[in-house]
Structures are given as C-alpha cells and as structure tokens.
Structure 1
C-alpha cells in the first residue's frame, strides 16, 4: 500500500506526501486567509499520509480540522489495520491498489491490446501505471519493456544500492550476500520503491517493476550473472524457493530450477502455478530430458488445465524417459516409480499405476535420512501420489498405509488434509462409515487455509463427507460438501467419484432425467483418460441413472468385464434383474467378492429381490434378514435406492427416497419350447395333472417347468403369467408358428 501510494503521489502535481510527525506542521487552513474568512481550495488537492497507524491523537485532531476547513481536499492514509482509524462516518477502506490478473486482462482488452495478459501482469507486478505503459507496446521484448517501465519510475535506486535491482526478489540474507545491510529493505519500502509479499515459507521483498527497470538502465552491472547466482545460492540456503526459482528462470539455469522444485515441492506449484507455467513453457522439451523433476512439475501444471492434457502427457513421458536414463540415487529411483504411477493413472494406461505405486511406496520407505533431506519437499508427495493410484486400483490397505505415511512425514497442510481425506474416503466408499468418522472428525476439527479446504487437496475429504451424509439422508449437507469442490469438476482427477456421488444425490431427490443429461454432458467433456476402474464407475453410474430414468433396456448395456470391482458386478446383476434375466442375475451375484459392507448389502438386497420375483419366497427370507442386519449394523441405506416400492416392502426398512418406477413391459422374455407348451396349457385352464398326461411327463416335471416359466416372466400366479404373456406378445407369437 505504501509503495503504491508513493508511486502515485510522485506523479501527481496536486498531491502532497506527509510522513507521521509532520502532520501538525501542516496548517488546517491557508495562512494567507483570515481565520474567520471564507475557506478556498489550495493547490494540495490530495494529501497522502504514510504509516497512519502511528499517528498521535493530536495528529488525528489536526486531520479532522483539515477535513472540516478544506472540504475539497481528499485525504489518503496508509494503515495496516482499520482499527487504527478513529470512527468516521464517511471513511472508505481500500484493501488493494494493485491490479488483479482479471483487472489487467480487462484493461488490456479496453485498449485493444493483443499482448498476453498473464505475461503483462507478471512483468508489471500489477502496478497500474506499469500496466498502462506496457499496454501501448506491440511486443513484450524484455529490453523494450524495461525501457518503457523505466520511464514510469518516479526515481531509480541510488548507485550505492543499485545492486538490489539485479535479483528478481530480495530477502535479508540475499541483501547481505550482495554486500548490503538488511535495513536497506526497510528504507526502500518507506521510499515507496517496493513491498513485501507473503510466500508460503518465506517473506520476499519486491522492487516495483518501474523502479527496478529504471535502476537497471541507470546503473548497469557487467557482473549481473554472478550477482544473480549469489542471490540464488542465498535463496536456496534460506529455503526461499520462489526467489530461487525466479533466479533460475532469469539465468536459464536448470540446476537451480531443479533444486528449487525439489525443495519447494507441491506448495510451490500450487501457490505460484501461473508464474511457473509461464516460465516453464519457455524451456525447450529436449532440454528437460536430463531434468525429470522439471518436466514433472511442468506436466502437473499443464494437467491442471483441461485444454493442455495432451501436452501434460508429453511432459510426463519426458520425465519418465529422463528418470529411466538418469535414476541412480535411491531418491531418483523412488521418484521414477512414482512418476510412472502418476503417468499411468492420469492417462488410463496399463494397470492405472498400481504396481508402480506399490514399488514407489517400497522405495520411499527405504530412503535414508540423507536421501529424505535431499528430497525434503517431495517425500510427502511421493507417498500421496502412490496412495491415490492404489486407491483407484482397489488396493485399499496399501492405499491407507501410503496416506498415513504421507501424513506422518509432511508438515504441509495440503498433504495432511489430503491424507485425512484419503483414508476417510477409502472407508466411506466401502460402506464402513464408523471407520471413516474419526478421520473426517479429525480433519474437520483443524483450522485449514480457505484455499486448501476448498482446493484439490480437500477433494477426497469432501467425497467422504458427502457419502456419509447421503447414507444418513442429510442431503443438504451432502450437497454442500460436493459444492465446496465442484468448481474443480472440469480439472480434478477425482471427478468420476464426485460425479457418481452427485448422481446418487440426484437419485435421492428424484431428479432422474435431469441428472442423466447433466452426467452425460460432463462425461463427454472430460473424456476417457483415467484409470480403468474410474471408467467402469462412470459406466455403472450411467446405467443406474438410465434405469431410474425409465429405460431398463439401455441400462442393461452394462456388461461384466475382467477385473471389475464388486460394485460393478452388482450393477450388472441389477440390470439383468430388471430385464427379467433372474438366473443370470443370480449367477453374476455369486461371483461378487464380499469384502466390503456396501457390496455385501447391495448383493444381499438384489439376491433377495431376484429370489422373490422368481417365486422362491422361502429362499428369499433368510437373505432379506441378512440384508436388514447389514443395513442396521453399518447404517447404510442407498442399497435400497434403485428398487420399486413393492421390492422395498420386502425388507421392512424405512427408505425416505422416491421409489423406482420401472416399466418392464417392453422386456422380451426368452422361453424354451417346453416352457411355451406349459404356457399355452395354462391359458385353457388345464390342471397340472392334465398337462402332465398330455406331455407324457410326471406332475413334478410340470411343476418344475411352471416355476421356471414364472421366474422368467417375473410373476407369482397363473393369472399374472397369462397377463404378462399377453403384454409380451408371447401367445401371439405361438399363434403364428
């Protein structure tokens, strides 16, 4: 704020800058006029007062006098806290005088400038005067930009301090490494030459773009490269990774960039993504083959932008090639395995990164203390990315272990929150809500930065919360949890889980058709580059929505595939049941692993309904009791969601959601020749004994064939069988034989 006000006031003829301690020396009225005479406006149209937090009560009284006696004079004050200002009715607080990126973009558009807004914002620092000057250029050639910015500066640094304009950023240690005293930064700030910015791990001082440009032109340094290298070394020793990587970019030094990325890890990418992406995009691909960490960072930044997914895949491939040809240290071997896992997961190739993830965890476990110190900013990320690959690969226990390791080795809020959410999601999605609860509670009890709690690292936690809320029929809370991270649905890799839970929520609310159309649109936009398990989850979700929307025939397009998760097989069996394929449904259910509560309940529910529909009431009853027991033990209810009202009545469980209304009249039932004969005999009122004599078989054989016929038709009596046969056209088909 101080710097911006100083910059502005220096360029305005009608502005007067006053420092604390000199306010009382400024007259409340023009001395040339009588005290009781009319007050006229003087030449000082604006008074700017710096560090107003330090004003005394007497100075505030003088300001009040000035406001009363000079009504046309505007007063601008720089304060760190609004509580430093006495209560005044018409005071207005302005929190940021710099352009945001959006404001820079809007300004360039208003000037019909074709310059890249991101690049302009970076080189100008958002300083309005600098943005205005650059907007008149046709190109962002560095020498030209520096010349234009230099002309906007109210002053350059004195030659004795001109060395401070060589690095991109400054810290006390960097200033000392350049031969200056640390207090020079306080002086520079008070002079309006720059300001402090808060980085995630170390505060940095930035000279304004105009002052820096003016100083570099006025006092060029033939040893600039050497000075920058000294600054980079000081940044690295200090752990000021943003400053280090900025010098690496300026020097085009890949070793410095590599060291900064290894030290800064994911926070550096998350906090400064646009800045890093702008500069990384200028590095040629062939140069990155020897620097896989830089290629990986570039890939992750590109992957966060949907339109650059193919470019991200290319960068991941470059990183992989680089590591395979270079990996020699234990840390590089672990990193190689993790990159391979991430590559396979994001591109949906191989096993989705499962085996590479297991290998990455094992190699990271074996790192020595020295190796861990070398990759201090990466160790938590290595465990975390392996855990996500294992989660999507169905390796729940190894995934939980990797999430817990990530949490134990990292102090970064993002990794800790992601780890809490990961373990909670594993349990919640499996239907073990009780096991998920302590992880959700622990995460919810902590205070997180808002950018972390609503960002990528919170996705799995909100997925777990939404799942629990839906099972508890707290639909508003579930929707709020999903909405917290829904703004990332077009970019996050967790979008299949988010979309699946949103679909379940819509089914609970009875929004069948709208949900199906919305889901199909999202799936088309996002494409199919994802682990196979997530593709199959989307297939299952679409089948469920299609069934709810009243199209059981299309829902039955879900077919079993080798390696399917148990939940997919349950979905296949459900589609078969609504097609009247009861034997097929039971056969599919018999192959479902019973490892997870959610799957055990869903399997039992469907098995009971199928047995009931085929007329095996006696066999259905123990399965009904088993389903009720699982539901009550784990507090699960969504397994009953995709059932008709008649089917739900079997379980005597209160289900608060709208029952399914599935028209199965269009389902074509396939009968054997003997079943057709039995069906025709039923229509003329023949008894079992009469049919048996006519067919020359025993009554028990007829009864068995009749039961098979009833199962296929989904009925329980002769009258229902005849009605269903007529609606299906089965008797008409026989008449034409």
Structure 2
C-alpha cells in the first residue's frame, strides 16, 4: 500500500532508509525542515511509496496556502484517490467553501466520516499561510485518525519550539537530512568527492552539482549554488538543454504538450526525462508517456529558471510564455494559478475567461482575489465588470466592507453596460446577470430592466450559445430569476429557477439546488404553499453540499419551510426553520422577507411587542443597506402596518400604507384596518376598489378572506357571507393556506365563525383563530352629549319616532343627530352603528 499521487522516483535516486524510518514515526506530525537542496521531497516520496498507510500526496498549489483553497484542494485529492464515500461532505467541498466560513470544521467532519488512519504528505509547506498551519495543528489535535508529513524550507509555525505543547511532533532538521559520508560515497562513487560533499555540509543538491562539475558552491549558500546550475556550459548539460529549462521551468508543473508549445522543441519529452535523470524534478503519476502525466520541477530549479528567463528573454517573449502556461492551467482546472498569471501580464481577456469559467470556485480565495487586483485603479475597473463583480461579492460577504462593495457594484454596472452592446449572446447574458445582481444587491434601480433583457436573451439563444455559459448557466438563471422575483414577475422568475435546476441536473452541477430552493421559496411567499411543499420535499431528498441548506444558497428553502409550517398552524416549527439563517442576516439580501416571516411568527404567538422589536431591529441593522426596490419597500410598509395594527395603532397603520403604489396590497391593508375598527362600510369600499386586479395567490387569498369578514361582520347577508366563506375555504385548501384567514381581525373572524355551517369550515376557522394575529381595535370617537344620548337610545328603540319620544325632541332633530352619529362612526345603517358602538369607548358614556 502507498499514498495516492506520489511523484515517480527519479533515476539514480539514493535510498535513505534512516529518513524513511523517521517519517514512519507514530507521531501525528513529522516535519522535514531544511533549505532547498537537502532532498526533503525525495525522502518523503520514498517513504510515501512504501508506507502501509492510506492517504494522499499533496503539492500545495499556487494560491492554495489559505485555509479555504487548501481544504478545497485536499478534498479534491481525497476524492480523486477514492478515499471518500458518496455521502462524505468533503465531496462537495468547493461548493460548501464558497459560502462557509469554517473550512476546518468541514475537513474535520469529512475525515471523521472515513474509517482508519489517513495520511496527508504535504510537499512545499512554505506555501501555507500561518492561519493554515494553525488550522492543521488544531485539526491534528481534534482528529486522531489523521497523520501529516510536511516539507518546509523556512522557519515557520511548523518549527516553533513550543509546537510540542499543542501536538506530538517530530522535526527532522538539516543535520539529519545532510548526507553522511557513506551516503555521499554511494552517490558519487568517489571518496574524494564524498569528503568534499560532507565538508560542504552534506547537501544532496550540491552532491549532484559536484558530479556535474565544479560550481564553486558551498553548503552555506545552496540557493546561490542552485542558480549557478543554469550557467553551466559543460559536463552533461548543453546550451539547448539549459535554454529549455529556462523556458519550461517557469511553470510549477506542465505536460509534454505544453513543454513543446512554449519551448518550440519537438523532443520535449526527452528533455523532461533528462531533467528527471538529473534530479531536477519528477513525474506525477501516471508515467511520462501518459497523455495526462505532469512533470513537476524542483523548487530551487523553478526559482533559478524564472530568474534566468526574465533576465535573458525579452518582455514580449516572457509574456507569451506566461500566457501559454496560464491557458494550460486554465484547461487543467488550476483556476487561481491561471488567474494569477493572467493578472501578472495584465491580459484582461484571459482574466475574464478564467473568471467566467471558474466563478464560484475562485470565490473560495476571497482575500487573495483582493490582493491580486489591488494594483488595478478603480477607474480601470470600469472596463472590467467581471473583476469588479468578484471584488464586490468578496467585499459584500465580509459584513464590514459594505461601502466598498457598493462602489465595486457600481463599477460592475457601468462596465457591463458599456460592453454588452458589442458582446456575443452568451457574454451579453452574463453581463446582464452581472448588471442585475449589482443593481439588486446595491439597491439601485435598474435590476428589473437588466433581468428582463437577460431573460429575453436567454430565451432567444440556441443550445450551443447557452453552452458557452459553461458552469455559470444555472447561476445566471438564478440571479436573473431572483431579480425578476423582486420585480414582481413571478412566473418568469419561476421559469428561470426551474431551468436552473434542469440545466444543473443535465450537467451534474450543484447550482440547480439553489434553483430548487428559490422555486420553493417563491411559491411559498406568493401563496402557492401546497406546490411549494412538493418542491421542499424534492429539495430535501437531494444531497446538498455542506452549509448550502443553512446558508445563502438554501435561504429560500428555509423561508419556504417557515411559511409552510406557519400555514400549517405551527409557529414554533416556522421559527425553528427561519432561525437556521440567523448567522447570515447581516449580509443576506433576503432580509426583508425573513423579517416579514419573523413578524408573522411573533404575531401568531400573540407577541406583539416581539414583532415590533424584530422589525425595529431589522430596520436599524439594515439601514446601511440600500437594497430597497419598490416591491421591497412595499413589503416592508405592509409588514410595519401589520405590527402597528396588532398593537392597536390603526391610525399609524393607515398612514404607513395609504400612499402605497400597489392598489391591491394597499386595498388589503386598508380593508384589514377598517375591519379591525368595525368599519364595515369602509372595508367594503376599499376592498371593492381593488377587486379583480392581478395579484399573487397570497394577496388574492387575503383579499377574499377580508371580504368574507366584511360580509359576516356587516350581518346584512348571512347567506351570501356563508357562500363566499365556502369559496374561501376551497381556495385556502387548494393553496394550503391558513395565514390569510388568521390575519382577519378578531372581531371579523368571530363574525365569520357565526355564519359558518360546514363542520370542516368551522374547524378551519378555529385553527386560524389559534394563531389569530390582529385584535379588534377600539376607536375613540368624540361625540356630543346629544349624539351620546341618541346612541344610548338607539340600543333600546327600534324607530326614529320612538327615539324622538324618549328624548322629547322632534323626529327631524333625531334624524339630523343620527346622520351626524353615523358619519362619525363611518357607517350607514342602524345594524352597523350598533356593531360599531359596541367596539367603542365613548367619552361620557357607559356604552
């Protein structure tokens, strides 16, 4: 047994059993620490090929030294090695780490899921950041099944004297890595040369150099000696081979095809095999003649070659070589390394191509992305919308750089707008997706127009054009659909979300899971809860990357689950679903919907004060965010009106919604306010004014429930009220809704219960009453003493003549006083007046 992906042994490599034994120590951490040239990689590879343990050899990639990309790379190698079962969370590490802030927790959970010891051999550990080293050390303490072996050149946290306090560690230093006299003799076959090697510090790389020719090197300066390798013009190396090395070793790794392309040598395979024989690098498995094989150069050769290349070649030549290396890395999926090289030579089109193809994966690098483009002036970002968008997402995710994020979003909008006119269809759609996302998240107007244009373009594109969107196609559907949803175009939004899921399923991607979540949430928010529950069940039956279900990608799924539970009459279950997202409230764009559901849950529990506090806290926390589309503002206004009405402030609630631009939603809120006050005539008036207008299933259901409440409370047509109630019951059952009925004010809900005939309908009303949200309000109406007297007599007398006789006034006087009384009560009949009087506190009256 051996580790997976161990480099192939070079020709004539000295076997060093004592170092293999040191690496075989039972300690969880063994570090090989020495400068370049001491054979650390060779020794660890010898051990890795013969160990009885299972695990992976890992060469830390360019940019992979931070925790997220490091864990992502390690997870990918564990998957490639077949060391993870299908349910292991590390199988979807890239997707999880795009949204998760705890890479070490993910790695620990994944490693614990597999049986037995597992070894990770880390070559070139100097590329790891301090944060990553600390994370690894902590991980070793938490996961006893893990063994780590690492090579480092420089002093670091791996070599701190106090390391033993945290973890059982063995450090194999320069002295142990130096060649002994017998090893030097075995390597050179010359006792005089062996003595010279030992006297020079026993450096294996120097031993190799001395066998090639006198380079004037000593153990005190191995790196300088390494650079002299490329200045040799004798021995086994000719000028052509040196020139080849200068060119190809600029890459961390490469295959034969790339070596041929950048060197112009058709015999690149032979030259790479020569480099292997000279100890300058090794082949990653499989063998060199396999088309997928990759040659990895020794670190000191890369350093020497790149320095020599930049010194000996013109800038255009160097730029072209780096571009070809970057394109090769892009095709191999080495996204960050390709992006770094493209940024280094300022190749904007290549930078855009890398971002377009590996958008989500690159978000894992976060801070490194910011560093990579730190030199780009803000004005230059006006022509680089993809770069601006990535920087905006990174800044927005931090929670502390909101203003900088808004600045980047603005630049992304400008750049996308300037470029899209001349862009091919796929790029135009991508630019529109950038625009609409930037507009929406930054709260600027324009999100809906960009989304509608992007949606039309998607519909007009053929399959081949859509394929150019690559792995981003479902994400484009999700972002455009989200803007359509917030713009009120629900049917188009749902079409986008469903297409996202279909495309992802066909291509084996995960973004379609977010499409499922968005579908479920949209259906629940708009009132199609029965259909939403079917989508929720499908979504929960799927395997999600860790932290997606309870993070931004799954936020609409939790929203859907919350609405579903509340519509089932269970505010506690609704609260449990929505609390899952608390960690993301500071940065999530869906906070108005989450806040609205929070308010409904609090009202359903009878906690009006809590509802007020939840809303006030959300508005205070989010006031720096400007994600305030008109539809969002409308939702927030009506949420606030609900809280005010539940607290008894009908006048305040009316002021909040009176000027809302949505006639149906405004009519529903004003009708609810009127009903709570017992003003049946006013409720009927505003509800009739908005009847028949297009609205969501939820708003239509609320409108119908309030209309039934007005009919029942009016009391003039109980049969009509009962027929409309039966219709309402059917609608609510079809849509699996309960909340629209629970939002009918208590006095009207009681009146509805009085006219209900069907036992099932009575049970429905009882369930709604248990989570009833709006109590009846008691208006204070200022009446004159004579009006109070008329009101008092109205409860006892049937006719105007009887009231006039009782009060000793003329019938005309009574009629005049009744008109004034009805006007102040907002009613038009004796029956309505009696109902309104029962709900009032009248100054100076006992009624």
TM over 0.5: yes
- Among 228, 247, 259, the alignment partner of 2:341 is 247
Deviations 1:428-467 (A, max 9, x none): 2222223223332332222121143333222222222322
Deviations 1:100-143 (A, max 9, x none): 97946989xxxxxxxxxxxxxxxx99999456899xxxxxxxxx
Q: Does 1:689 align with 2:801?
A: yes
Aligned match of 2:780: 668
- Among 704, 728, 735, the alignment partner of 2:842 is 728
Change (3 A) 1:435 1:49: same
1:534: Cα distance to partner? 1.3
Answer whether contact 1:644 1:661 (CA < 8 A) is retained. Answer: yes
Aligned match of 1:489: 585
1:543: Cα distance to partner? 2.6
Provide TM-score, normalisation by structure 1: 0.70
1:207: Cα distance to partner? 8.9
| Secondary structure in structure 1 of the residue aligned to 2:488 | coil
Q: Does 1:449 align with 2:550?
A: no
Change (3 A) 1:273 1:608: same
1:392: Cα distance to partner? 0.9
| Secondary structure in structure 1 of the residue aligned to 2:19 | strand
Q: Does 1:432 align with 2:528?
A: yes
Aligned match of 1:358: 452
Answer whether contact 1:19 1:49 (CA < 8 A) is retained. Answer: no
1:257: Cα distance to partner? 0.8
Deviations 1:631-664 (A, max 9, x none): 2333211123345655444342232745457473
Change (3 A) 1:165 1:364: same
Change (3 A) 1:531 1:513: same
CA distance, structure 2, for counterparts of residue 101 and residue 497 of structure 1: 39
Q: Does 1:386 align with 2:487?
A: no
| Secondary structure in structure 1 of the residue aligned to 2:544 | coil
Aligned match of 1:51: 48
1:565: Cα distance to partner? 7.2
- Among 366, 380, 396, the alignment partner of 1:287 is 380
Answer whether contact 1:580 1:713 (CA < 8 A) is retained. Answer: no
Aligned match of 1:607: 707
Aligned match of 2:729: 628
1:245: Cα distance to partner? 1.0
Answer whether contact 1:277 1:298 (CA < 8 A) is retained. Answer: yes
Aligned match of 1:598: 698
- Among 555, 558, 576, the alignment partner of 2:653 is 555
Change (3 A) 1:336 1:588: farther
Aligned match of 1:341: 436
Answer whether contact 1:383 1:406 (CA < 8 A) is retained. Answer: yes
Change (3 A) 1:22 1:722: closer
Change (3 A) 1:208 1:567: farther
Answer whether contact 2:497 2:518 (CA < 8 A) is retained. Answer: yes
Mean Cα deviation higher: 592-601 or 538-547: 592-601
Provide TM-score, normalisation by structure 2: 0.61
Q: Does 1:539 align with 2:637?
A: yes
Mean Cα deviation higher: 358-367 or 329-338: 329-338
1:713: Cα distance to partner? 12
Mean Cα deviation higher: 667-676 or 409-418: 667-676
Answer whether contact 1:168 1:247 (CA < 8 A) is retained. Answer: no
Q: Does 1:261 align with 2:258?
A: no
CA distance, structure 1, for counterparts of residue 679 and residue 633 of structure 2: 25
Answer whether contact 1:428 1:467 (CA < 8 A) is retained. Answer: yes
Change (3 A) 1:663 1:166: same
Change (3 A) 1:335 1:418: same
CA distance, structure 1, for counterparts of residue 568 and residue 843 of structure 2: 44
Change (3 A) 1:524 1:718: closer
CA distance, structure 2, for counterparts of residue 724 and residue 492 of structure 1: 43
CA distance, structure 2, for counterparts of residue 192 and residue 670 of structure 1: 95
Consecutive unaligned residues in structure 1, runs of 5 or more: 7-14, 24-46, 58-78, 84-90, 108-123, 135-149, 197-202, 733-737
CA distance, structure 1, for counterparts of residue 497 and residue 675 of structure 2: 39
Matches within 5 A, 1:363-382: 363-367=457-461, 371-382=465-476
Answer whether contact 2:790 2:814 (CA < 8 A) is retained. Answer: no
CA distance, structure 1, for counterparts of residue 154 and residue 595 of structure 2: 42
Q: Whose RCO is larger (CA < 8 A, sep 6+)?
A: 2
Q: Does 1:301 align with 2:394?
A: yes
Answer whether contact 1:178 1:227 (CA < 8 A) is retained. Answer: yes
Aligned match of 1:587: 685
- Among 676, 693, 697, the alignment partner of 1:578 is 676
**Corresponding residue pairs, total:** 634
Change (3 A) 1:606 1:664: same
1:290: Cα distance to partner? 2.9
Matches within 5 A, 1:192-231: 221-222=310-311, 223=313, 225-231=319-325
Answer whether contact 1:533 1:565 (CA < 8 A) is retained. Answer: no
1:220: Cα distance to partner? 6.5
Change (3 A) 1:152 1:468: farther
Change (3 A) 1:82 1:643: closer
Change (3 A) 1:152 1:615: farther
Aligned match of 1:420: 516
CA distance, structure 2, for counterparts of residue 488 and residue 294 of structure 1: 24
Q: Does 1:679 align with 2:791?
A: yes
CA distance, structure 1, for counterparts of residue 833 and residue 685 of structure 2: 26
Change (3 A) 1:152 1:420: farther
CA distance, structure 1, for counterparts of residue 637 and residue 153 of structure 2: 50
CA distance, structure 1, for counterparts of residue 367 and residue 151 of structure 2: 13
